Amino acid sequence: MRIIAISSGKGGVGKTTLACNLGLAIAEQNKRVLMIDGDLGLANVDIHFGVRPMHHLGDVLQGKSIKECITPLMKNIDLIAGGSGLVELTHLNAFQRRELINQVQDLQFSYDYAIIDTSSGIYEHVLHLNAVADECIIVLTQDPSSFADAYAMIKVLHQKYKLQNFKVVCNQMKGMRGEQLFIKFAEVVERFLSVRLSLLGSLPFDENLQKAQQQQRTIMRQTTNSPAAQIFREIAVELVAESDLSGAHNSFSENTSQRTSGLAAIFKPATGHA
């Protein structure tokens, strides 16, 4: 299973919108997708899909099986909710992390992709979710604070966790092409950091997408033929093609006795401690 973390330095840039629509676009390619609401304590992926999960990660810590906490969304796509208003989920201790590891290992071969919608900022649990992912996608807008905060996130992930490869999605573009914003951003980042950035896609300002965001809906379901929906599909096709080319779906066979792979790695401290 390939893990994709979607993050941003600041809120309000469309991170959850990207995560949900990208999950749907990948599922359309007959891939099994597990959405994970990594915005622990302030979860809202369920709202975008119009569901009310009966259980969430907090229930796993209370003794429920993680399989009981999976919410089916539609064909090929399920959700593990993060729980809303649960501060304790942002401060898991070593015992709780081990318990979650034991639970999630049963899911490793049930899905092709896990898409994590992380919370904004450079909190420790956010950084860790990015550090264990196979793909780290940063959402960027023309807002100067988005630009600065995205740089800060990449800097911390590079310096603390040695991450070197990042994908960027430019969102809410007005009067400027995404390629232009990306080049400007990449020039600044690569001048000071030894990292590699690549532009995964660019989403222009789309009234349909804005309406869907305001209504907390997915445009892939609401306006399937809109320009934004088509771009989500193009991004999904590129990610799946890269994954198939690299043989990521067979990664479990590589040194499985020496590393924690798949979904279990999400709750394993990147430093190697319990």
- Around Cβ 21, how many Cβ atoms within 10 Å? 28
87 found inside a domain:
yes
CB 30 within 8 A of CB 236: no
202 found inside a domain:
yes
The rounded radius of gyration (Å) of the Cα atoms in the chain is 18
253 found inside a domain:
no
What pLDDT, on a 0 to 100 scale, did the predictor assign at position 113? 94
Picking from 227, 225, 192, the residue whose alpha carbon sits closest to that of residue 207 is: 227
154 found inside a domain:
yes
| CATH number of the structural domain spanning residue 17 | 3.40.50.300
What pLDDT, on a 0 to 100 scale, did the predictor assign at position 167? 96
Q: Which amino acid is at 65?
A: S
Listed as ranges, residues in the chain with pLDDT below 70 are 40-43, 83-94, 97-98, 101, 105, 175, 213, 247-274
CB 202 within 8 A of CB 169: yes
CA–CA distance from 60 to each of 100, 105, 117 (Å)?
Answer: 7, 13, 19
273 found inside a domain:
no
254 found inside a domain:
no
CB 130 within 8 A of CB 50: no
256 found inside a domain:
no
Q: Edge-to-edge, what's the strand order for the sheet holding 33-38?
A: 70-74, 77-80, 33-38, 113-118, 2-7, 135-140, 165-173, 196-204
Q: Which domain holds residue 91?
A: 2-243
What pLDDT, on a 0 to 100 scale, did the predictor assign at position 209? 76
CB burial class (10 A; 0-12, 13-18, 19+) of residue 93? exposed
> Which residue matches tokens 């573009």?
173
267 found inside a domain:
no
Q: How many domains does the chain have?
A: 1
